[in-house]
């Protein structure tokens, strides 16, 4: 603002209305040049700051979109893995159930026993607050708890009458046999302790399982 009016109120109002400075007549040309240069520099800094802010906002928007895309991709992969895991578990379940049905068929007195034990085990484990993936390992361990009977001779396993003391010693080795059979199967790592320890009550009575 260049004016011949020397008035403080006018100067303040001019600045408030957007003037960058207030010069009164008669003015000094060097002062005018200095004021204009200072105003241009101020304007340049304002423009640079505005451009920086706009650029920063664009970068934030781009980064936000990238993070959303990554998040969506992670969620998609998680869903796919969950579905794949469920399919694998279903396949494992089918295979293990077929194996145990074959074993139960070998022991005529325990038809369906392994499946019932697995169902009871899952029910108890859930009441105890056990969730996946441990719950599946408990189920598999219960389903396979008698897998070691594969190594028990038919003469003992299918004996129609009571077992004598020596025969019981042989029969009670099946948890250890089951542990040995399953120890090399990596996906059953969590199920092995269930198989190995399921006769601990008998062991406590003096009949060793190992």
Sequential DSSP letters for 1-34: -EES---HHHHHHHHHTT-S--EESSPPHHHHHH
Q: Which of 25, 42, 87, 149 is catalytic?
A: 149
For the question of residue 59 being annotated catalytic, the response is no
Compute φ and ψ for 173, nearest 5 degrees: -85, -10
The pLDDT > 90 percentage for the chain reads: 2
- Those residues whose C-beta lies under 8 Å from the C-beta of residue 153, and which sit 6 or more positions away, are 170
Average pLDDT, the chain: 80
- pLDDT at residue 207 in the model: 38
Tens of pLDDT along 125-163?
999 998 888 888 888 888 888 888 888 888 887 888 888
Residue 205, pLDDT above cutoff 50: no
Given the structure tokens 């034990």, which residue do they identify?
A: 117
Residue 206, pLDDT above cutoff 60: no
CA distance 71 to 69: 5
3-state secondary structure of 149: helix
Please choose, from the candidates 157, 194, 161, the residue with its C-alpha nearest in 3D space to the C-alpha of residue 175. 194
Residue 209, pLDDT above cutoff 50: no
- pLDDT at residue 123 in the model: 92
Tens of pLDDT along 22-49?
787 887 888 888 888 888 888 888 888 8
End-to-end CA distance of the chain: 102
Q: For residue 152, what is the DSSP state?
A: S
Looking at per-residue pLDDT, the higher value among 6 and 49 belongs to 49
Strand ranges in the chain using DSSP code E only, listed in sequence order: 2-3, 23-24
Looking at per-residue pLDDT, the higher value among 92 and 161 belongs to 161
């Amino acid at each position: 603002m260049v004016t011949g009016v020397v008035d403080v109120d006018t100067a303040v109002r001019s600045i408030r209305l957007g003037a960058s400075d207030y010069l009164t007549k008669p003015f000094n040309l060097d002062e005018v040049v200095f004021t204009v240069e200072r105003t241009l520099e101020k304007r340049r800094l304002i423009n640079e700051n505005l451009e920086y802010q706009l650029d920063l906002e664009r970068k934030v928007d781009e980064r936000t979109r990238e993070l959303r895309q990554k998040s969506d991709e992670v969620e998609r992969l998680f869903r796919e893995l969950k579905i794949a895991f469920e399919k694998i578990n279903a396949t494992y379940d089918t295979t293990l159930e077929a194996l145990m049905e074959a074993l139960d068929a070998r022991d005529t007195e325990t038809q369906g026993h392994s499946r019932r034990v697995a169902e009871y085990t899952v029910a108890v484990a859930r009441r105890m607050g056990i969730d996946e993936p441990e719950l599946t390992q408990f189920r598999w361990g219960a389903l396979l708890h008698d897998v070691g009977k594969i190594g028990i001779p038919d003469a003992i396993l299918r004996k129609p009458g009571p077992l004598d003391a020596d025969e019981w010693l042989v029969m009670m080795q099946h948890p250890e046999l089951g542990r040995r059979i399953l120890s090399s199967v990596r996906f059953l790592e969590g199920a092995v302790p269930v198989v190995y320890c399921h006769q601990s009550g008998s062991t406590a009575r003096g009949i060793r399982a190992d």
